[in-house]
Amino acid sequence: MRICVYGAGAIGGNFAARLSAAGNDVSVVARGAHLEAIRSRGLTLLTGDRKIVAEVRASDRPADLGPQDVVISTLKASSLADLAANITPLLGPGTPVVFAQNGIPWWYGQGLAKERRAAPDLSRLDPGGALARTVGFDRTLGGVITTSNHVVEPGVVHNISPERNVLWVGEPDDRQTPRIEQLRAALIAAGISSPATTDIRYDIWHKLMANLTGSTLCLILGQPTTIQKTPMINRLARRAHAEALAVAAAHGVVLDDAPETRYGPKRVYPDHRPSILQDYELGRPMEVEAIVRAPVAFARSAGVDTPTLDAIESICVSLAEAKGLYSSE
């Protein structure tokens, strides 16, 4: 398959290298020193005791790469305006685009089952409707990622979780289509787990729980995930998690993910600074809208009382706006 990974940083670089090593024609959209290193030395992936050096086509101009069989976007929600402005040259007549990101995706309200409550206004996730115009709902596929990686140096990605690299993919209406089956097969052949799912929104909310109820507390406190095991913060995370579960259930997504399980005594808390905290510390645009504000909008539209999440939202927005990394206007 001709596959373009749009945003080949740590996660995108991992997937691009694996897909290339499996025999696919892979290209990447990257920037800066990372791009120059990939062009000159290839894309290197270090995973367990393996070293993969992938020869991939790379550019910061999608027009250089041409139409693809599939585009996998690993951009953060706060960076999707760049994709909307530049993706058109990558799109052939039937090219699907996988949006693999944290938080509530811009397309969430499309293809909902009739028995589910309508989504709230999510227009802030797609300002001006740019993604709806350039990509469109017919091309859109949902994606949820579980993997841990970091860029060691330009052009070199270290996969910290060699046994845990997962990309769930699904149609917005959860149909089991040929393009989903073909993409899953390509991912699995490349060593990327892609379990079949009949409810992509379940996977979206399940991943969101960690970011909304745990990563946000790390942001507020300026601490790694180990802070979540301290008694007072653990109680706060449990309350936030219980509220978030109620919000998801009100919108037809009943998660098997009790607070006692996620934040219980058996959980191991790695010494890791979540991406929303890293973005804050490094002065990068923050995913506040997708990770924090949109889920709270779901609560309000369903009439679910969420005092803990409301407080988390207020503090996260205030922190991000004070550094100019997010605007609620």
Amino acid at 302: A
What integer pLDDT is reported at residue 207 of this predicted model? 95
> What was the pLDDT predicted at 243?
98
Categorize the per-residue pLDDT at 270 as very low, low, confident or very high, splitting at 50, 70 and 90.
confident
Confidence grade of residue 47 (pLDDT, cut at 50, 70, 90): very high
Q: Which pLDDT tens digit goes with each residue over 4-42?
A: 999 989 999 999 999 999 999 999 999 999 999 999 999
Confidence of residue 297 (pLDDT cuts 50, 70, 90): very high
pLDDT category at 84 given cuts 50, 70, 90 is very high
Q: Is 146 helix (H, G, I), strand (E, B) or coil?
A: strand
What tokens appear for 224 in the block? 């790694």
What pLDDT is recorded for position 268?
Answer: 87
How many of the other CB atoms lie within 10 Å of CB of 272?
Answer: 15
- This prediction has a pTM of 0.95
In CATH terms, 202-322 corresponds, of 1.10.1040.10, 3.40.50.920, 3.40.710.10, 3.40.50.300, to 1.10.1040.10
Q: In this structure, which CATH number among 3.30.70.1350, 3.40.50.720, 3.40.190.10, 3.30.56.10 belongs to the domain 2-198? A: 3.40.50.720
Let me know how many helices (H) and strands (E) the chain has, helices first. 13, 11
Which residue in the block uniquely carries the two structure tokens 């115009």? 133
As annotated, the active-site residues are 207
Q: Would you kindly state where each structural domain of the chain is located, as residue ranges?
A: 2-198, 202-322
- For residue 148, the model assigns a pLDDT of 87
